[in-house]
Structure 1
Amino acid sequence: MKNRPVYGIQSVDHALRLAALLAQEGPLRLSEAAERLGVARSTAHRLLAMLVYRDFAEQREDRRYVAGPVLRRVEAPEPVTELRRIALPHLQALTEAIDETTNLIVVVGDQARFVASAEGTQVLRVGDRAGRVLPAHLASGGRAVLATLDEDRVRALYGRAGSPVADVDALLRDLRRVRRRGFAVNDRKTETGVTAIGAAIPAPTAGGVAARAALSIALPTARYRRDRLPEWVARLTTTAERIAHELVDDQA
């Protein structure tokens, strides 16, 4: 039996209850959400807006809210606790070195899920992305992981009806370039004013969650400079290799 925490935070409780309702019971109207929580419509609207922002919810054309990408499981994800534990200190060290936000990403199906972030300190910076979900074929870390896959697997993933990719051959050509270069760049494809550089974490084994993980550096496009790209890529790939080595040692 679970007891309500003595110092429970009501707004957090409301948001978690809403997320559970969307995942378990399906679409909700704003008025229904307010009624279920016993709060004013304005309060329910603010809670739903935050769930939408963090990809726990989406609003359909009929104005009803449904479970977002974070709550919709394309396939059963493997635990990322150990990967996150090992990677986070390396992310923090990388952020300290370059003072830009860095991220740990795991690709699940055609989604790039942000597992952890280390945020830079500059006034103009990319915020913490933990918990966000982006299309894998657009996100820098997602494309870096997709580039490690067999092309037949990529075709199977994106060649289906209703695929978000209209031209799979063009995607494969792009992934070949990513594979040759060892990194991917997402220049404002998923968010205006944000550029990201991603590199896959070398998989210590043929399978497992580490085989689908990547790191990225995200920065304001205004601060992105091509002449610094070799430095950023070198730091990124070195960090990814260190994480891979530590994963191997952890499994030994």
Structure 2
Amino acid sequence: MKNKPAYSIESVDHALRLAVLLQQEGPLGVTEAARRLDVARSTAHRLLAMLVYRDFAVQGTDRRYAAGAVLGPAARVEPVAELRRAALPHLRALVERTGETANVMVLLGTQIRMVATVECDQALRVGDREGRLLPAHLASGGRALLARLPRDELDARYDGGEPDGVTREQVERVVRQTRRRGVALNDGGTETGLTAVGFPIGAPGREPAAALSVAMPTARYHRRLLPELVAALADAAGAVDRDLRAAAGTTPGAAAENSVQQNELSSGRRRASR
């Protein structure tokens, strides 16, 4: 598993995390940056000033900082930021219920980006993955989301050559396997020694397409754990979706979509228990 190096330079790590936040979620003030990094306001100010100096950030007239020329414009700022806010309490509950690290991620083309991680407190654990990009066909949450896409959308994402070194045939094999199992499982696909189970948030077609995952050392995983992990993920995903709907005020049609989602969950739970 790829965890934080023991010799990591904290200031560099903070600067890189800030750059990811600006690109992924959009403008930040100094106070918000300090809170997200858990550092003093003066430290956050110095880090942002250095990012501005190197063109990783720009400061607007409102004194907030945004992604600079090196990073390019932030994409889908509000939905991703709102997703993170809605998901964090449920990630913490998921960690408490499963005893393992939990993540929320979004689908971007043929990759997924980790939006937030809550680590468990076990000595041997999967570490923080926030901000990382991974091939969607390898990550558990990416597999869960790809398995719900219609064929024409899969074609649109993967017909431009071989992104991430994967062929269309490999992607189709992963999608078929995930649909057949009813569970999105990553068993060493992204990192040796890591196993993760993924589950989509909300009904198909929501934007941005998002999923939850629970990740653990492979040494601690056994297939008999799958039914409980899937049940925990399904409950958490349903809670995140309800909170996102409540924040957006989108209640019309929610009952119908929730019914579709519950059918999917029930089917996945039955297959996971086999």
Distance change (3 Å), C-alpha of 1:159 and 1:6: closer
Matched with 2:153 is 153
Determine whether 1:76 maps to 2:81.
no
Partner secondary structure for residue 214 of structure 2: strand
Matched with 2:216 is 219
Matched with 1:171 is 171
Instruction: Indicate if the aligned counterparts of 1:183 and 1:200 stay in contact, CA closer than 8 A.
Output: no
1:212-250, Cα deviation, whole Å (9 max, x unpaired)? 100000111111111111111111112111211222222
| Structure 2 portions without partners, runs of 5+ | 1-28, 31-39, 59-69, 250-274
1:99-136, Cα deviation, whole Å (9 max, x unpaired)? 11000001111121011111100000011111111111
In structure 1, C-alpha distance between the alignment counterparts of 2:120 and 2:103, rounded to whole Å:
11
Number of aligned residue pairs: 200
Distance change (3 Å), C-alpha of 1:72 and 1:142: farther
Instruction: Indicate if the aligned counterparts of 1:144 and 1:214 stay in contact, CA closer than 8 A.
Output: yes
User: What RMSD in Å do the two structures reach over aligned CA positions?
Assistant: 2.9
1:135-183, Cα deviation, whole Å (9 max, x unpaired)? 1111111111111111121122112124235431332232133234443
Q: 1:21-36 residue pairs with structure 2 within 5 A?
A: none
Alignment identity in percent?
45
Partner secondary structure for residue 164 of structure 1: helix
Distance change (3 Å), C-alpha of 1:77 and 1:9: closer
Distance change (3 Å), C-alpha of 1:249 and 1:218: same
Distance change (3 Å), C-alpha of 1:15 and 1:179: farther
Q: 1:120-135 residue pairs with structure 2 within 5 A?
A: 120-135=120-135
In structure 2, C-alpha distance between the alignment counterparts of 1:77 and 1:241, rounded to whole Å:
22
Give TM-score, length-normalised by structure 1.
Answer: 0.69
Query: As a proportion of its length, which structure holds more helix?
Result: 2
- 1:97: Cα distance to partner? 1.1
Matched with 1:53 is none
In structure 2, C-alpha distance between the alignment counterparts of 1:241 and 1:10, rounded to whole Å:
38
- 1:85: Cα distance to partner? 1.1
| Structure 1 portions without partners, runs of 5+ | 25-66
1:56-85, Cα deviation, whole Å (9 max, x unpaired)? xxxxxxxxxxx7xxx477x93353121111
Select which of 233, 244, 269 maps to 1:236.
233
In structure 1, C-alpha distance between the alignment counterparts of 2:155 and 2:72, rounded to whole Å:
22
Give TM-score, length-normalised by structure 2.
Answer: 0.64
Partner secondary structure for residue 208 of structure 1: coil
Distance change (3 Å), C-alpha of 1:15 and 1:148: farther
1:173-224, Cα deviation, whole Å (9 max, x unpaired)? 3213323444311111111211111111123x83422xx1000001111111
Q: 1:38-187 residue pairs with structure 2 within 5 A?
A: 71=71, 76-79=75-78, 80-187=80-187
Partner secondary structure for residue 7 of structure 1: helix
